[in-house]
Structure 1
Amino acid sequence: MIYDDELETLPKEALEALQLKRLQSMVERVYNLVPFYRRKFDEVGVKPEDIKTLNDLKKLPFTTKQDLRDNYPFGLFTIPLEQVVRVHASSGTTGKPTVVGYSKRDIEVWSNLMARSFAAAGVERGDVIQNAYGYGLFTGGLGAHYGGEKLGATVIPISGGNTKKQIMIMKDFSSTVLTATPSYTLYLAETIRDMGIERNELKLRIGILGAEPWSEEMRKMIEEKLGIDAIDIYGLSEIMGPGVAIECKEAKHGLHIWEDAFIPEIIDPETGEVLPDGEEGELVITTIMKEAMPLVRYRTKDITRIIKEPCICGRTHRRIERIKGRSDDMLIIRGVNIFPSQIEALLMETEGVEPHYQLIVDRVNNLDTLEVKVEVSEKLFSDEIKHLQKLKERIEKDIKDLYGITVKVTLTEPKSLQRFEGKAKRVIDKRKI
């Protein structure tokens, strides 16, 4: 179902004309109202009137997460605080949190984009959405909540955690849609099995999963375990929250980024050079509908590419490929670059292992090492030692053959690794401890 037929299927020329008009208006506002942006623009010698085409966007400076921290808490707002109706913030695990403000209009825009996203995923009026994203300062819970209500669905604001109660509610309230992280969804599937609940006792048909990178292989595993369509959704607090981009149920290949609200670019993360559509690099997003806190060329650090080919669903907004990982999450092991999602993809295809793993990076005698801890199935764990040894050696060989790095694989007993109710913490880097 297309939620907003006119905007979602705009011809390319009309969409670009709308983007340019909104970009010019936004650039003028931040230059006149935000001292930080006025200074940044002046440093590179750019004035709002210099933005005559969409191609001129690359003349503007980047904004980074550090810029948000430097202007903590309200230094990037373009409206007085009394007109800000809501504030969200990141967890701030690496310093002060990044703060984002919303006007009443911003909340309406966000709700519409989330409703649009839900519809693209196949959610309909009358569906029952079990919202297991976290509420509070995190944007996930309330973003999904308002979007579900806007669409006309019933929203259960259960938030994350309390897993057995989640499943009781899911069964008793006939939940048809689950919004959660992929890792928590796997944990729910595991607990459903342990509780002896049969799949036909649940009405669940769609999972809208995000907030962490996940592989195509993990999608297949979730779909098999829960019998649902698992749809990838993308967003980040600094830009808006969830609903910046989403897969459509028709293709499930690439996430439509809503280009009437955001202008995406892909850059070389080292040089900052803009790359052509189709090339992989760091995603940069410019907000063109945010009122309280617009961002110019925000560096997300997320690695992806823009898919320029038209989508079978009929939407004209371009797609971004599934996020491979963050540029600062990439592991460099003895000169080889690898993302955790690449290890995950290989593990998920290996028979006999469970979808729960941990990567431990260390430095021994000035050399980087990588240990891959992964749970094995109940059946295999009770098998002969020689079978476990063969599995361990095969995974080590597969990683070496595919990615060119030597790792140590440790097979652990079922349910021995930590489960996560929010974003999974897969990597322990002892080099930084």
Structure 2
Amino acid sequence: MIYWDQEKECMSRQSLAELQLRRLKETVFRVYAFVPAYRNKMDARGIKPDDIKSLEDIKHLPFTDKQDLRDNYPFGLFAVPMSDVIRIHSSSGTTGKPTVVGYSKRDLDTWSELMARALTSAGATKKSIIQNAYGYGLFTGGLGVHYGAERVGASVIPSSGGNSKRQIMLMQDFGTTLLTCTPSYALFMAEIMEEMGINPTDLKLQSGLFGAEPWSENMRREIELKLGINAFDIYGLSEIIGPGVAIECDCKCGLHIAEDHFIPEIIDPVTEEILPDGSQGELVITTISKEALPIIRYRTRDLTTLNTDACACGRTHARMQKVLGRSDDMVIIRGVNVFPSMVESVLLDIPGVEPHYLLIVDRLGNLDVLEVQVEVSEQIFSDEVRKLEDLGKLITRELESALGVNVKVRLVEPKTIERSEGKAKRVVDRRNI
């Protein structure tokens, strides 16, 4: 088993808890002293920094959400003067004011270390050639991976997203061994390779690190089959630090959260009560080592479970299961919760179906309806109508059984559904609710 920092990744749970408590106390004192928004929230709850005496006391602290960052746009939640901020990232701001995140020099060092851990877990070494097809710029993905790869000592190809044929040429000519991008873009590149007549076995690709969107085990198998690689999941949020918050190990039985830097909780997204280990709910994260933008109890909206049992890899940090979906991406159809990942898992078990789909939700009268557009292979689409009808009926039956709601399935020809170089768009909600 290979680790980037075995001492930290395999420290005892007791030592980890002691470190977390010390860092939590320091963080709470800092935000109370230097961030008026947090001080006001804590005062409203009657909480002072001295009240945090154990890790369990975290439940008394206020939550933070994306709206808090927007309300304090751009730098209102920073805990250091701007002279100490050496990097600024932000979201696209497509739904309002963007969320802005800042980093001190120490924050960037921490981020680089976390990404070095992540890349090492995915097989990276000094001999690796890492093609980084995450977007560079205000999005944290590209630069996060880049600095982690340099910390490992690997060769980095900063290809960014887009220009897929050029991406594949670089893989061929530069001998890429590890690919980083969104899982949907990895599948798209596999599609382009097939069109170009390139066999992935002729490349030097060995592994891939894929994140920034939820993806199922079936999608992992599809990527591994089509690219001939070992595919690993990575998790992160810009508001917390960027990619590198959690990473899969070789066991692939959950993503290890870097608990020496973050305290995870699982809450009921409705009641906001903390749930016990093993319960499915919304992931909440508190940063305990960040300087520029410390975040207390951030509601990620991502739905998952936590497991603190020992992992066969030797790492002791808690594992989160692959994200099922987001509580704010969840579609409710006649009282039933539907996530894109649930649909994806069913579709990828059916032969002849391509890994590209779109959920369209509409309201006819007072009734919600769900249409699932599904791409089928060229061979199936050009087959006789009867076979297409039979496939449509099979998909409808399997989806309705898995989801518990009526579904209208529409089979579409290959390359009909829009491709994305970043996060794939899976849901179109046309209801006025």
After TM superposition, the score normalised by the length of structure 2 is 0.99
**Cα separation, 1, equivalents of 2:420 and 2:54:** 45
Count of residues in correspondence between the two structures: 432
Letter in 2 for 1:395: I
Aligned to 1:369: 369
**Cα separation, 2, equivalents of 1:328 and 1:141:** 25
**Cα separation, 1, equivalents of 2:177 and 2:426:** 29
**Cα separation, 1, equivalents of 2:16 and 2:432:** 45
How does 1:7-26 map onto structure 2 within 5 Å? Answer: 7-26=8-27
**Cα separation, 1, equivalents of 2:211 and 2:199:** 25
Helix, strand or coil: the match of 2:123? coil
Aligned to 1:234: 235
Deviating above 4 A after TM superposition, structure 1's stretches of 4 or more consecutive aligned residues are: none
Offset of residue 432 of structure 1? 4.5
Offset of residue 189 of structure 1? 0.3
Contact 2:112 2:148 in 1 (8 A): yes
Aligned to 2:329: 329
User: Does residue 138 of structure 1 match 2:158?
Assistant: no
**Cα separation, 2, equivalents of 1:121 and 1:201:** 21
Deviations 1:184-226 (A, max 9, x none): 0000000011101122221011110000001100000000000
RMSD: 0.9
Offset of residue 308 of structure 1? 2.3
Aligned to 2:311: 311
Helix, strand or coil: the match of 1:77? coil
**Cα separation, 1, equivalents of 2:129 and 2:123:** 13
**Cα separation, 1, equivalents of 2:401 and 2:416:** 28
Aligned to 2:207: 206
Offset of residue 397 of structure 1? 1.0
After TM superposition, the score normalised by the length of structure 1 is 0.99
Q: Structure 2 regions of 5+ residues with no counterpart?
A: none
Deviations 1:97-155 (A, max 9, x none): 00000000000000001001111122111100000000100000000000000011111
Deviations 1:3-49 (A, max 9, x none): 10111110010000000000000100000001001101101011111
Helix, strand or coil: the match of 1:100? strand
**Cα separation, 1, equivalents of 2:191 and 2:52:** 53
How does 1:161-176 map onto structure 2 within 5 Å? Answer: 161-176=162-177
Aligned to 1:417: 417
Helix, strand or coil: the match of 2:351? coil
Helix, strand or coil: the match of 1:337? strand
Aligned to 1:429: 429
Letter in 1 for 2:277: D
Structure 1 residues 72 and 329, CA gap change in structure 2 (3 angstroms): same
User: Does residue 89 of structure 1 match 2:90?
Assistant: yes
Deviations 1:338-387 (A, max 9, x none): 11100010001011111111111111112111111111111111211001
**Cα separation, 1, equivalents of 2:213 and 2:107:** 24
**Cα separation, 2, equivalents of 1:313 and 1:180:** 25
Letter in 1 for 2:287: T
**Cα separation, 1, equivalents of 2:148 and 2:336:** 41
Q: Which deviates more, 24-33 or 402-411? A: 402-411
